[in-house]
Amino acid sequence: MRYQRQRQHSPLPSGKYRISPTTGVRIALPTPEQLQWQSQELGVLIHFNIATYINNDGCIDQIVPNISLFNPYLLNTDNWVQTMLDFGAKYAVLVAKHACGFLMAPSNVKFPLNPTGKIISYNYTVDYSPVKDINILDEFIKSCENKQIRTGFYYTVVTNNWLNVESGFVQNRTLKPGQLNITQKTYDNIVLQQLRELWTNYGTLDEIWFDGGYTTTLKDPITALLAELQPQAIAFNGYGISPNSVRWIGTEMGVAPDPNWSTGITNDGGDPNSPIFCPAECDTTLQAHDRWFWGVNVTLRSLSELIQVYHETVGRNCLLMLDLTPDRTGLIPSAYARRYKQLGDFIRSCYGTPVLPMERLISDDSLQYIQLFVSSPVTVDRSVIQEDQTDGQVIRAYVVDVQLVDTTNIHQWMKVAQGKSIGNKKIDIWQVGPQLINAVRLTIIKTVDKPVIKSFTVHLCN
């Protein structure tokens, strides 16, 4: 289960940008962290929490599951990481606290109840569960580091069933079983203390997830805390609190609009004219019907559907964050692991090794890129383009065309693809199907400054 992510953005400076010397337009500039994050292309969002142990995807309706339910008796984070490697993930974000309020980490936070003022510990954590002797977050970090997978944490600020919090605010209503009553000030203090613990105790984090954003009262203190403890981290939903912000694409189905720009802060395909570099992340599930936490007898999405998801996310300049769902034992179910690997195998077999040309030509103005296969024609059915965005995303439109082997006129070309945004990666599967070609040509037909193509390749995929 997810939260409504669209929210009012706080006024901020317009971002770092440069003025194009050729067109005079503003070009948004990325941070090195944003470019590195985009280049990863594949990540996982690990939904494993006390909600795994109920037949309810994310503790909706203010449910507070009994802490004794959380008992992953076969827990093995190395098992998780092997599945990540089989899929091809470069980073992993673990749900530290979801809507239930259950915290996956030990916590020293204490707070007063309302109205008695009695001080209690935040005792709805893994330390009070049947696996209290296992530091799950620490094991997760170590397993990922051993295989060079970057890490991060998901922490929802806006919902905490245990503390009767919804939309970021303590609710004035009758408490449900298991809930506690506190003040808004107490809740805000709890959030900041727990974020400090998470951002201090587990090393350098690659990405921090604010699902649902954050309240106005917490904006400034969270901004300061992030700058103090994890300034390098990518912040999902982070425009307003971090220069390394990325945006939600606006859907959980695993599809980005085409075009999808690296700039703009709206939850959609972005804005090519925005002075703010804020690339998109596409989060979606392996399980069918938008199910995030592991569920009993839940079906998996088919391999063909997941391949389409890859093409409509990574292939449209959006980083794909696929849900990873350990079951109640603490392991990735074998059927799930097979599906992750099947998708990873397809990506590697299709895009791991491009068809190499005999010769490459680039026009003096960098607007045309030609690959020649004249002495050894090849059959291909798709093209992959990557733009160097170090100085911003500048390409606004392009065309790909090919020269067929049976063409009598060497100046005759057939258009096979066209588009607008390239960004980190654009994959075009040619509607005309596989073609036997002598040459392929990429032409930049609209740009706001001199373009730099990082990679242009062709492939044949079964």
Q: Where are the domains of the chain?
A: 17-351, 359-459
Q: What is the fold of 359-459? A: Jelly Rolls (2.60.120)
Residue 412: predicted pLDDT: 87
Please return the burial class of 112, using the count of CB atoms within 10 Å of its CB with bins 0-12, 13-18 and 19+: middle
Please give the CATH superfamily to which domain 17-351 belongs.
Answer: Glycosidases (3.20.20.80)
CB atoms within 10 A of CB 40: 20
Rounded to 10 deg, the angle between the 77-87 and 136-146 helix axes is 40
Mean pLDDT of the chain: 95
Long-range Cβ contact pairs of 270-274 (< 8 A, separation 24 or more): 272/393, 272/396, 272/420, 272/421, 273/25, 273/26, 274/15, 274/28
Q: How confident is the model at residue 408 (pLDDT cuts 50, 70, 90)?
A: low
pLDDT digits (tens, 9 = 90+) for 177-197: 999 999 999 999 999 999 999
Residue of 253 and 407 predicted with greater confidence: 253
Residue 211: predicted pLDDT: 86
Residue 326: predicted pLDDT: 99
- Residue 357 is given by DSSP the state P
pLDDT digits (tens, 9 = 90+) for 203-232: 999 999 998 888 899 999 999 999 999 999
pLDDT digits (tens, 9 = 90+) for 299-309: 999 999 999 99
Residue 8: predicted pLDDT: 37
pTM: 0.95
Across the range 314-338, mean pLDDT stands at 99
Across the range 86-115, mean pLDDT stands at 98
User: Residue 37 pLDDT more than 80?
Assistant: yes
Residue 374: predicted pLDDT: 85
Residue 5: predicted pLDDT: 40
Residue 411: predicted pLDDT: 73
Residue 410: predicted pLDDT: 66
What span, in angstroms and rounded, lies between the C-alpha atoms of 20 and 26?
Answer: 6
Quote the percentage of the chain above a pLDDT of 90: 92
What span, in angstroms and rounded, lies between the C-alpha atoms of 193 and 202?
Answer: 15
- State the virtual CA torsion across 443, 446, 452, 453 in degrees, nearest 10: -40
- For 422, the enclosing helix (H) or strand (E) is none
User: Residue 235 pLDDT more than 90?
Assistant: yes
